[in-house]
Amino acid sequence: MSPLCSLGGWRDGAFAAARVAAGAPAAPRSAPRAGSAGRGAQPHSASPSPPRRVRWGRISGDGLGRVGSGWGLLWESLFHVGAASPPTPHAPASRGEERDGQRGAAGAKEEVTTMLQHHGKPWRSMCKGLVLGTLLTSFMLLLYSYAVPPLQVSLTEIPIPYSCSSSPAQAKGRVVANGTRSPSGGGCRPKLDIMFMKTHKTASSTILNILFRFGEKHRLKFAFPNGRNDFYYPSYFERSQVQHYRPGMCFNIICNHMRFHYQEVRKLLPADTTFVTVLRDPAYLFESSFHYFGRVIPLTWKLPGEDKLAEFLRDPWHYYDPNGFNAHYLQNLLFFDLGYDNNMNADSPLVEQHIQEIDQRFHLVMLLEYFDESLVLLKDLLCWQLEDILYFKLNARKGSTISRLTPELYEKATSWNLIDAKLYRYFNATFWRKVEAYGRERMAKDVAELQQENEKMKSICIDGGHAVDASAIQESSMQPWQPLGEKSILGYNLKKKINKKHQKLCRKMLTPEIQYLTDLGVNLWITKLWSWVRDFLKW
């Protein structure tokens, strides 16, 4: 029996003691008990009487005294604290009193033993129920926090300054970073107010690491979610979801997962904010999303066969339900993340209208397939330095978990995600127009320089120079978040000996998203509770 559960019996005993102390009449008895000192006490029998069932509500005064004399014994037996504390010294007792005391202790021991035998099991059961109830309640609260959108809060409208990058510390950062030159030879100042719309399965965690490092370096103010690592996705973004938010507050960077809500974001960030996002070929994004989120999409559980993706694409509408839980991960996920209806007719004129809105709102739409070129364009747009965009690929899957799409499956996946395909084709064209404006030769030179510096950092920072399976990662602080039910995401081991110049940078570049958010002071109690539940259930 646990110590906590044992306290219940003491509570009942205390009630009985209080009853006697208050003058309640003692329960009738047929004969005085052994060891009593009152008149008419019967001679003590040579053989002890058999154990009797004790009812806490019917303990007589002297019987209660014997139970009281056994408190030290019971405390020792339940809590294993060693020998009972010595009793408080009293005046010397006569031999008769000593014999009565010994008999009382024996009787107390007998009654305590009986009490434990008859009252232990109910308390053990009650405590087990309490523990299980606590676990179940925590789990249900966790599910509720993930599944139910937060309450909509009406906030006071207070104008945001044109820029939130005017503090002395940030100004100092701008001077340090003001080494980048435009093609015309004029100087430029790095932009510090940034909105990065983090889409799913597009290497966005790698971009997030770049933004975290830049913001930390220049002491910028992030708009972080409260309690978890996303803004209550898949609900639409609301300013009230921002940790410590108050109307009129100034933020430099917002970059965690959300379902984009342009009007709400605009009310949070200054007017000079640069809007950036990243897209991926919809067929490959669908494959990645299907496998990464499959275990939390009930629609996929009933798919027969080993190749569930091929079975789904054979006849998607046979399995797909637009209203199914987490169904948005299975069709036009990019369009959904950007705040639009992913189930609308792909031929609707609204699709083209929404694509035009995205083009007007975002200063740069990057492409995963041309990641290095995208970072060079980002560096140029924000007027950053090369060191600001160095990166290691984070949250990459190991090759054995990646389905090789046949040409037939690729076409089916593209057709199934037709709205995303239209979105991707549009911004693929705008991307290469930006590359042309930047200059093809200049782009090739800058990409080569970026790749060379990345390889140099690999040799300095990464043990073995490459990513490893989750089971081979030595530090828990380097362990990436894994999809439910598997360990398919690779991570890194930091080299043991790194020169002081690069120690901090190496660790920052390799730190996974959840750990980096914690380092930046984000409250992640929901995410951590979910992680604890997964570990407890071995999910």
DSSP state of 189: P
Mode of pairing for the β-strands spanning 194-197 and 274-279: parallel
Count of positions (residues) in the chain: 539
Beta-bridged to residue 254, according to DSSP, are 195
Q: What is the pLDDT of residue 98?
A: 55
Rounded distance, CA 453 to CA 268, Å? 36
Q: Tell which residue, 480, 475, 337, has the closest CA to residue 417.
A: 337
Per-residue pLDDT of the chain (539 residues; tens, 9 = 90+): 444 444 444 344 444 444 434 444 444 444 444 443 444 444 443 444 444 443 333 334 444 444 444 444 444 444 444 444 444 444 455 555 555 556 665 665 666 566 556 555 666 666 666 766 766 665 555 555 555 555 555 566 776 777 887 543 444 444 433 344 444 445 789 999 999 999 999 999 999 999 999 999 999 999 999 999 999 999 999 999 999 999 989 999 999 999 999 999 999 999 999 999 999 999 999 999 999 999 999 999 999 999 999 999 999 999 999 999 999 999 999 999 999 999 999 999 999 999 999 999 999 999 999 999 999 999 999 999 999 999 999 989 877 667 789 999 999 999 999 999 999 999 999 999 999 999 999 999 999 999 999 999 999 999 999 999 999 999 988 999 888 777 889 999 999 999 999 999 999 999 999 999 999 999 998 888 877 777 777 66
What pLDDT, on a 0 to 100 scale, did the predictor assign at position 117? Answer: 60
φ/ψ (deg, to 5) at 265: -65, -40
* 363 alpha carbon, distance to own chain's centre: 31
Question: Cα separation of 438 and 337, whole Å?
Answer: 29
Distance, CA of 90 to chain centre? 60
Cα distance between residue 332 and residue 340, in whole Å = 10
Amino acid 162: pLDDT = 77
Residues 292 and 282: beta-carbon distance below 8 Å: no
Q: Are strands 364-367 and 194-197 parallel, antiparallel or unpaired?
A: unpaired
pLDDT at 65: 43
β-sheet with 253-254: strand ranges across: 253-254, 194-197, 274-279, 364-367
3-state secondary structure of 247: coil
Query: Which residues touch 149 (CB under 8 Å, ≥6 apart)?
Result: 232, 235
Using an 8 Å Cβ cutoff, are 225 and 241 in contact? yes
In angstroms, the CA 265 to CA 248 distance is: 13
| Token code pair at residue 249 | 């507050």
Provide the 3-class DSSP secondary structure of residue 133.
Answer: helix
Strand partners, 274: 194
C-beta separation of 222 from 255 below 8 A: yes
The angle formed by the CA atoms of residues 141, 144 and 145, to the nearest 5 degrees, is: 85
What digits encode the pLDDT tens for the residues 403-421? 789 999 999 999 999 999 9
- CA distances 234 to 341, 516, 531, Å, are 12, 22, 19
Which tokens go with 4?
A: 């906590």
Cα gap 388→44, rounded to integer Å: 91
- 392: which 2 tokens? 């290691």
Report the alpha-carbon distance of residue 209 to residue 198 in Å, rounded.
12
- Quick one: which of 120, 125, 112, 121 has its CA closest to 54? 112
Distance CA 44, CA 32 (A): 10
Q: What pLDDT score was predicted for residue 137?
A: 66
The HSE-up count of residue 42 (CA atoms within 13 Å, CB side) is: 8
Please check whether residue 467 is in contact with residue 490, taking contact to mean a CB–CB distance below 8 angstroms. yes
**What confidence score (pLDDT) does residue 120 get?**
58
Pairing of the two strands 253-254 and 364-367: unpaired
Distance, in Å, from the CA atom of 314 to the CA atom of 308, rounded to the nearest integer, reads: 10
CA–CA separation, 172 vs 516, rounded Å?
Answer: 24
pLDDT in tens, 119-173: 556 666 666 667 667 666 655 555 555 555 555 555 667 767 778 875 434 444 4
Q: Report the pLDDT value the prediction gives residue 155, as an integer from 0 to 100.
A: 60
Q: How big is the CA angle at 143 (ends 141 and 145), to the nearest 5 degrees?
A: 70
In angstroms, the CA 355 to CA 344 distance is: 13
Task: Report the distance separating Cα 64 and Cα 18, nearest Å.
Answer: 11
Place of tokens 């019917």: 58
- Cα 409 to Cα 345, 367, 404: the distances in Å are 22, 22, 9
Give exposure, 7-24, as e/b (b: 16+ Cβ within 10 Å).
Answer: ebbeebbeebbebbeeee
User: Taking a C-beta distance cutoff of 8 angstroms, is the pair 93, 55 a contact?
Assistant: no
- Enumerate the β-bridge partners of residue 196: 276
